[in-house]
Amino acid sequence: MGESLFGRHRICAVIAAPTAKEMARQLRRALRFTRTVELRLDYLRSNLERGYFLGWLDLQRPRATMIATCRVREAGGRFTGGLAAQSVFLAVAAAVGCRWCDIEMETAARFGTSKHWKRFLNRARVVFSCHDFRGTPGNLAAIVRRLERWGGDAIKIATQCNSIADSLRVLALARSKRRVVAVPMGEMGLPARVLALREGSALAYGAAGEATAPGQLTLEEMKNLYRADKVDRRTRVYGVIGNPVGHSLSPLLHNSGFQARRMNAVYLPFLVRDVRDFLAAIAPLGIAGFSVTLPHKQRILKYLHDCDPLARRIGAVNTVVVRGGKLYGYNTDYVGVLRALEQHVRLRGSRVLIYGAGGAARAVAFALAQGGAMVCVSARRLEKARALARAVGGEVAQRARLRREFFDAIVNATPVGMHPLAAESPLEPTELNCRVVMDLIYCPMKTRLLELAERRGIETISGVQMFLAQGTAQWEIWTGVRAPEAAMRRAVLAALRREEVLEGKP
């Protein structure tokens, strides 16, 4: 159905730039990935640049399904000219090879029917579109009826999703209507963007340059990381829930594993503020399992049908399997901590400080106690530190004592040092009196804490080691197949090194 509308390539590259030269460069690059493109003429900084680009397009005539749009500011676009100028640019775009024109409802309302547009659009087909950057309206059905009355060849609904439930409502339009492009916007709508084609949307968008809408993924991410055009009803869906979750490398880790093993599965990042909002989406989206990160590792426990005995003792879960609609919890952080620390510290008889007392800290504490270490806990909230120390037979180390204490190892189990707090360290240099410092944060690979430790000549352990170990253990719990660890490690390390280059680190 969607293929007959826009051709074989249903991932649409969004071409948006201020100059004709950059628009042309983006278009040439995008055609390596797809043959369906949206040309955002409103992003060009002047009418002169629009003329240059359309002239170039006339000469090149690329073999692609091109959709022209010149969106006005009221609809979230950048075009400030009048209706006459907007109409002329769309008409020229149609004349030089654009088979479709996207007309926003704010503009369409001034004429009301597709007959007006088709008179001068060189027989180009018309998409009538609605964009709401504030939220997902309650009257979506009425908006759809209004768009359909104008008699276009397709309609598009793009709304900001302020909950996962909002994104399900947008996807429902694609399931219930023919000739619909459904675009859930915002970070909460990101997983639904990837699944939109599976649900019946005629197109899904990926940015060839800068993102033109909240939550819009790059073309490479849509095509290569998530393989959105390959997702179908047989695809097993996994994900990570957390807040924040945008900087997580878990999608890269797990999707690299699925691709290496040629498995029909996809792993998505879910920004979750309310756990119940996510749980209500498990059945509609067909989610088979998910990772749990901050701040939900302990909150998720009350929603589980059953829990691995070790995870129950730890009191925190980072891995959930969905079976028959019921949730079963596990904790693989434990495995990650042991594998990472045992390469550097003989745990039996050692004295290790954990800074933090949340879900991740609990996994570290139980792993260390199981390994025979004396566990010391320091945290901003003293009562939580005491509770964790009691649970593992350890002791509390008050912050004021750290300058005078020595430990075999110190482990940071707080989010301090992670984006957006990457420039901060949870501990001062004078508090790092130990042989080894480990940070559970893996992005960046070398946190501010690890930099301070290195300056003092202390051996350091990046959270990457734990991240890889716990992640491959998760992957194996879900799939029942041995994880392709080398491929998963290569993908994650390459991404972290690229990030360091972009940040100007050596």
Helix (H, G, I), strand (E, B) or coil at 69: strand
- Is 223 among the residues known to form the active site? no
Distance separating alpha carbons of residues 117 and 237, to the nearest angstrom = 41
What pLDDT shows up at residue 112? 64
Q: With a cut of 60, say whether residue 240 has pLDDT above it.
A: yes
The catalytic residue among 9, 131, 223, 446 is 131
User: Which CATH code, of 2.40.50.140, 1.10.150.130, 3.40.50.1370, 3.40.50.720, is assigned to 335-467?
Assistant: 3.40.50.720
What pLDDT shows up at residue 2? 41
Buried b (16+ CB within 10 A) or exposed e, 133-163: eeebeeebeebbebbeebebebbbbbbbbeb
Mean pLDDT of 251-258: 98
What is the CATH code of the structural domain delimited by 2-232?
3.20.20.70
Whole-Å CA distances, 212 to 6, 9, 14? 20, 20, 8
> Is residue 198 within 8 Å of 231, Cβ to Cβ?
yes
170: region left, alpha or beta (phi > 0 left; psi from -120 to 50 alpha)? alpha
What pLDDT shows up at residue 123? 84
Per-residue pLDDT reduced to its tens digit, 290-307: 999 989 999 999 999 999
The catalytic residue among 42, 102, 118, 156 is 156
Q: With a cut of 70, say whether residue 274 has pLDDT above it.
A: yes
Per-residue pLDDT reduced to its tens digit, 290-349: 999 989 999 999 999 999 999 999 999 999 999 999 999 999 999 999 989 999 999 999
- Is 297 among the residues known to form the active site? yes
pTM of the full predicted structure? 0.93
Mean pLDDT of 124-141: 96
The catalytic residue among 42, 333, 408, 439 is 333
What pLDDT shows up at residue 1? 38
What pLDDT shows up at residue 111? 78
Mean pLDDT of 248-256: 97
Number of alpha carbons in the 13 Å side-chain half-sphere of residue 232 = 4
Per-residue pLDDT reduced to its tens digit, 152-203: 999 999 999 999 999 999 999 999 888 999 999 999 999 999 999 999 999 9
Distance separating alpha carbons of residues 132 and 134, to the nearest angstrom = 6
- Region(s) of the chain under CATH 3.40.50.10860: 238-332+470-502
What's the burial of 73, exposed, middle or buried (CB within 10 Å: 0-12/13-18/19+)? exposed
Average pLDDT value for the chain: 95
What pLDDT shows up at residue 60? 96
- Is 333 among the residues known to form the active site? yes
Mean pLDDT of 243-270: 97
Closest CA to 35 of 58, 3, 59, 77: 3
User: Which CATH code, of 3.90.25.10, 3.40.50.10860, 3.40.50.300, 3.40.50.2000, is assigned to 238-332+470-502?
Assistant: 3.40.50.10860
Confidence of residue 118 (pLDDT cuts 50, 70, 90): confident
Mean pLDDT of 467-474: 96
Mutual angle of helices 359-370 and 382-391, in 10-degree steps = 30
Distance separating alpha carbons of residues 289 and 239, to the nearest angstrom = 7
Alpha helices in 293-357 (DSSP H): 309-314, 333-341
What separation, in Å, do the N-terminal and C-terminal C-alpha atoms of the chain show? 50
What pLDDT shows up at residue 443? 87
- Region(s) of the chain under CATH 3.40.50.720: 335-467
- Residue 218 identity: T
